[in-house]
């Protein structure tokens, strides 16, 4: 079951897959104020209904674990580091956890990280333009997730350190500051 809390900001390149729980809880309401949607979804039928309501037409399944990288720990660690780099997308990011667990971190209005620890049956939808990052948990090191898309997937991650602000980012900022 999902946990929301503020990140302790003590992560390093060596330990970012650890829990990093500051002990300060975050609420679903705080995430809603950021445009983040969360729901516990027990069945694929329920997921299909949400997909229909939100007009998601495409989907795929992604499995991330060491075996997906042919047990190459260096390749696995490089991919986790890439996902953990702060970025946004021009489309929503929708993930339904089928099995395993992982962390999605999102920036709040004060630029602090809120961590969502997701596991089986958790659905998280991040709005286009929100800064976020992802990693697998250190305990399990694996997740199977269904990714949903309104149209064809747009995979470009726009890293924060580039300073690039697209229309999606500007619209997002306007929406949460209005």
Using one digit for the tens of pLDDT, what is the confidence trace for 42-81?
999 999 999 999 999 999 999 999 999 999 989 998 999 9
Strands (E), the chain: 3-7, 21-25, 37-40, 58-65, 87-88, 93-107, 113-119, 122-126, 132-136, 142-149, 158-159
Quote the DSSP letter at residue 1: -
Q: What is the per-residue pLDDT for 152?
A: 77
Using one digit for the tens of pLDDT, what is the confidence trace for 9-55?
999 998 999 999 999 999 999 999 999 999 999 999 999 999 999 99
Q: By percentage, how much of the chain surpasses pLDDT 70? A: 99
Average pLDDT over the chain reads 94
At CA 51, angle to CA 48 and CA 56, rounded to 5?
135
pTM value is 0.93
- Structural domains in the chain, sorted by start: 3-177 (2.60.120.10)
């Amino acid at each position: 079951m999902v946990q929301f809390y503020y990140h302790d900001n003590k992560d390093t390149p060596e330990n970012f897959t650890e829990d990093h729980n500051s002990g300060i809880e975050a609420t679903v309401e705080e995430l809603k104020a950021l445009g983040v949607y969360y729901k516990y979804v027990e069945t694929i039928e329920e997921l299909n209904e949400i997909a229909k309501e939100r007009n998601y037409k495409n989907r795929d399944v992604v499995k991330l674990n060491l075996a997906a990288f042919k047990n190459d720990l260096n390749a696995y660690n490089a991919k986790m580091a890439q996902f953990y780099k702060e970025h946004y997308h021009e489309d929503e990011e929708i993930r339904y956890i089928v099995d395993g667990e992982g962390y999605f971190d999102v920036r709040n209005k004060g630029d602090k990280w809120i961590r969502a620890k997701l596991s089986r049956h958790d659905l998280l939808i991040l709005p286009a333009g929100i800064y976020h990052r992802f990693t697998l948990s250190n305990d399990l090191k694996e997740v199977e997730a269904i990714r949903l898309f309104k149209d064809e997937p747009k995979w470009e991650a726009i890293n924060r350190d580039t300073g690039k602000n697209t229309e999606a980012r500007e619209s997002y900022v306007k929406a949460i500051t209005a």
